Amino acid sequence: MASSWLRSLTLPQLAVLTLSVGVVYILGIAIYRIYFHPLSKYPGPKLAAATRLWWTWHQLRGKFPLTVHELHLKHGEIVRIAPTELSFTGADAWKEIYGFRSGLPENRKDPGENTDADKRHPTIINADRKTHGDLRKLLSNAFSDKVLKGQEPVLLHYIDLLVTRLHEVVDKGEPVDIVKWFNYVTFDIIGHLAFYESFDCLKNTEYHPWMSMIFNAIMYVHYIRTFQRFIDVRSIILAILPKRIVERRKWHIGLVEEKVMRRKTQHPDYIDFMSHLIQAEEKGKLTNPDLVANANLMVIAGSETTATILSGTIYYLCTHPRVMQKLLDEVRTSFESSEEINIARISRLSYINAVIDESFRLYPPAAGSHPRITPPEGANIMGEWLPGNTSMGMAQYAVFRSPANFKDPELYLPERWLDTDGPYAHDRREALQPFSFGPRNCIGRNLANIELRLILAKMLWHFDFELMPECRHWPDEQYIYTSWEKIPLKVRITARK
């Protein structure tokens, strides 16, 4: 009966019927997700609960961390931002989502976060638990305090070169884009530490072609992370890329391979980030493509993020004269000459640490979320039972500006990090985790902390800074695509009086 009825339908009628069934099916899924799904009890936009498209739209707009922050201000510490994803801002959630889970299954990294171009050769960021552990063990010695202390002359050489080049600019009396200069110095440093050769950005006062590739790669990674929630798009994108971009990508990979080869053959005894990886390759534990993939990652992670927080710090210092003067006093009274500024002595300063922590809080390089997934059997997170394969993350921008974690969260107040019995003594300082948390936290955090303090101290010892009026609202004019898409930060630099 039903089959004969279907056969009697004309083609237009069949099309309408098919469309109607599809609409009813989609509406049914949406209604289930909004009202009957295990995550339906958590607040958030109804559209976000119904479809991942809400999440996708805001990611592509480049303002997703800000949107999530607004949701948390409205709804509290747990917000639903997609049909199967929750966002948390509670300080204790770091440990429960990202930390070690003794005797419990791992909260795996969300597969949608894997942006490696070649799955056969994972980087330390995207590797599975065992491979990540092996890579981390190989690299941990390279980032130890002892090894970094041995690299101090390298750091100081490039930082002093930065100062020299800026003195030349000062003489011209023109405003400079400080973002560009921070990119120059951090890129030169990581080039030397990874390959025993600089990219000569400071020498040539221009971006190395690799840097342009990095900026493009960050956008590429953001799009991959966004669309991969629906389908693994890496192979598709690589297949449809224009020939020009394919050739550019081949050139880039070839450049990395060339630098890795020179590092292996010309400086085999030099102790740096690559040493242990090279030794592992020689023992057959890694392949050359593994080496190249992780070297490329180290250059990106070791330059762009450091330049970002340095730029943010200069912005906030320039817009808060009281803080700037207090930090200038600390730096300039602690050292009689620039040559006295080193790792050991900079570690004794307290206010510079507070300034950097406060800059991380308001302008975190990794402003968004890098979610984990509950094991198939589910997990208890922050006293809430979450079903298996639930995505859960912490957007740093929202966590660091949460009034539940910090008093006066929108104010730039480095003193909050030094307060022991005043109004900020009860801030949840452990909520600040700019290098993430747990077994997958940033392995280069020690280098970043040393580099930040040395560069900032040297700059402030030598120069005074004035923000140009057109950059007054610099952070508000940027988009966030995995990291901040930094626009020029124009400052007038003068030699200290």
Question: Given phi > 0 = left and psi -120 to 50 = alpha, else beta, which region is 330?
Answer: alpha
Q: Of 231, 241, 226, which is closest to residue 61 (Cα–Cα)? A: 226
Q: Residue 300 carries which side chain, given as an amino acid letter?
A: I
Which residues, at least 6 apart from 276, have a Cβ–Cβ distance to it below 8 Å? Answer: 138, 139, 141, 142
Q: Of 477, 396, 182, which is closest to residue 304 (Cα–Cα)? A: 182
Retrieve residue 73's tokens: 């201000």
Q: How far apart (Å, rounded) are the C-alpha atoms in residues 178 and 254?
A: 30
Three-state SS for 381?
strand
Strand order in the sheet with 490-495: 176-177, 490-495, 463-467
Retrieve residue 214's tokens: 């990095």
Taken in order 306, 310, 316, 317, the sign of the CA dihedral is positive
Residue 45: Cβ within 10 Å count: 17
Taken in order 442, 448, 453, 456, the sign of the CA dihedral is negative
Retrieve residue 203's tokens: 């020498």
CB 437 within 8 A of CB 106: no
Q: How far apart (Å, rounded) are the C-alpha atoms in residues 53 and 44?
A: 14
Tokens 């921008």 locate to: 397
Q: How far apart (Å, rounded) are the C-alpha atoms in residues 397 and 434?
A: 10
Q: How far apart (Å, rounded) are the C-alpha atoms in residues 152 and 263?
A: 20
Three-state SS for 246?
helix
Q: Residue 373 carries which side chain, given as an amino acid letter?
A: I
Q: Is 201 annotated as a binding residue?
A: no
Buried b (16+ CB within 10 A) or exposed e, 364-392: bbbbbbbbbbbbeeebebbebebeeebbb
Residue set of the binding site: 442
Residue set of the binding site for heme: 442
